[in-house]
Amino acid sequence: MKWILVVIMMNLTPMQQDRDLYILTQPVFSTAEECIYYAQVNKTYIMGLVKENYPEQEVEQAVCIKSEVLKDIIQPEEKKKGIDA
């Protein structure tokens, strides 16, 4: 099972439905514990990357998520149509 670190951005307005995500595609982790440890140890580096890409937004939270679950979140329409992503 692969785990990926995802940073969830705060909504810019209360009416905004979708949230921006910053997905760290590397490194990929074997366990949730490895992912969490990496996020804790590299917090300053990760926040720097996020600020470069989302300078006007604040971070809501960082989460470690299974890669299969992430695919379902970012490609729900393809899954509904039966397309294997």
pTM of the model: 0.77
pLDDT digits (tens, 9 = 90+) for 11-64: 766 666 677 889 998 999 999 999 999 999 999 999 999 999 889 888 999 999
Q: Mapped to the 3 state alphabet, what secondary structure does 27-84 carry?
A: EEECCHHHHHHHHHHCHHHHHHHHHHHCCCCCEEEEEEEEHHHHHHHHCHHHHHCCCC
Strand partners, 9: 59
Specify the higher pLDDT residue, 40 or 80: 40
State the pLDDT at residue 85: 41
Amino acid 78: pLDDT: 53
Residue 83, pLDDT score: 47
